[in-house]
Amino acid sequence: MPGCRVRLAIALLCSASLTHVPSAHAQRGGFRGQAPPPPIHNAPYDGRFTFARIKYETAPGGFYYQGLPAWAHGYPKAENNLGQILKSLSTMRVHTEVSNVIALDDPELMKYPVAFMTEAGFWTMNDKEVAGLRAYFAKGGFVIFDDFRDDFRNAGGWSNFLTMMTRVLPAARFLDLDPSFAIFHTFYQITSFNIIPQAYDRGRPQLRGLFENNDPTKRMLAMINFDTDISDFWEFSGAGFYPIAQGNEAYKLGVNYIVYSMTH
């Protein structure tokens, strides 16, 4: 998997409005019946950094946002907006107008060093997908899990996530992270989780990591944003739903996650 060289740049982490809309989900037309999956237009692999969003069979209840399957929440705006930020801040060659959607049992996944999943509370896997994710981790892949929580529309929340992941790695242990971990210092210096914006989740975000052989001194395999929806701030950057400062903090996390995954 390719590495990258990152340089410091001066850039504006952008959002277009200082107006905060508390009931953002309602104003986006969030709660509907089931709709067809969004059209997917994957770009052929060409060596440029491309988000690989993981698609999966959505468990009942996961079609609440615009009728979309749970894996597609925020697609493709969230990752494309973050890609624009990555391109402006670094020397990475980034696809900024497309993100690829790939199943865990698709061999194409092995071409992409970073994968991204939303709504793991509604995540399901068949045996081939279990084997595919296990192979992806073994080859050096890194997965960002975002936007899931307990006690929401009958989703399995953390319990469902843990069930899926222990099928992949039965001995997996998930470590509660604090700001001292390297992933929070790979580009931006994130010294407190108090900066993390909350769109609609109750309480504080819980950031957890999965490490190779459960050893925090080794490579991180997965970054888990639980009880929070950081990618919501990427998705609606520039839409006027959130203050600029909140979007900027969410972008800092995303940039650090990508830079860490590409350099470790």
184 in a domain, yes or no? yes
12 in a domain, yes or no? no
Residues 102, 72, 13: CA angle, nearest 5 degrees: 100
Token pair for 177: 């992270």
Rounded CA separation 102/128 (Å): 14
222 in a domain, yes or no? yes
Which tens digits make up the pLDDT trace of 182-221?
999 999 999 999 999 999 998 899 999 999 999 999 999 9
The amino acid that residue 173 corresponds to is R
9 in a domain, yes or no? no
253 in a domain, yes or no? yes
Domain holding 134: CATH number?
3.40.50.12140
Rounded CA separation 138/145 (Å): 18
103 in a domain, yes or no? yes
Q: Are strands 174-176 and 206-211 parallel, antiparallel or unpaired?
A: antiparallel
Q: pLDDT value at position 16?
A: 31
Which tens digits make up the pLDDT trace of 78-103?
999 999 999 999 999 999 988 999 99
pLDDT-derived band at 31 (thresholds 50, 70, 90) equals low
Token pair for 144: 């960002």
Rounded CA separation 48/51 (Å): 10
Q: pLDDT value at position 32?
A: 59
Token pair for 99: 């993100």
Report the pLDDT averaged over residues 35-46: 92
**Residue whose C-alpha is closest to residue 148's, from 230, 87, 86:** 230
Which tens digits make up the pLDDT trace of 144-164?
999 999 978 777 999 999 999
Token pair for 159: 């319990």
Q: How many domains does the chain fold into?
A: 1
Give the domain extent around 158.
24-263
4 in a domain, yes or no? no
Which tens digits make up the pLDDT trace of 218-257?
999 999 999 999 999 999 998 888 999 999 999 999 999 9
13 in a domain, yes or no? no
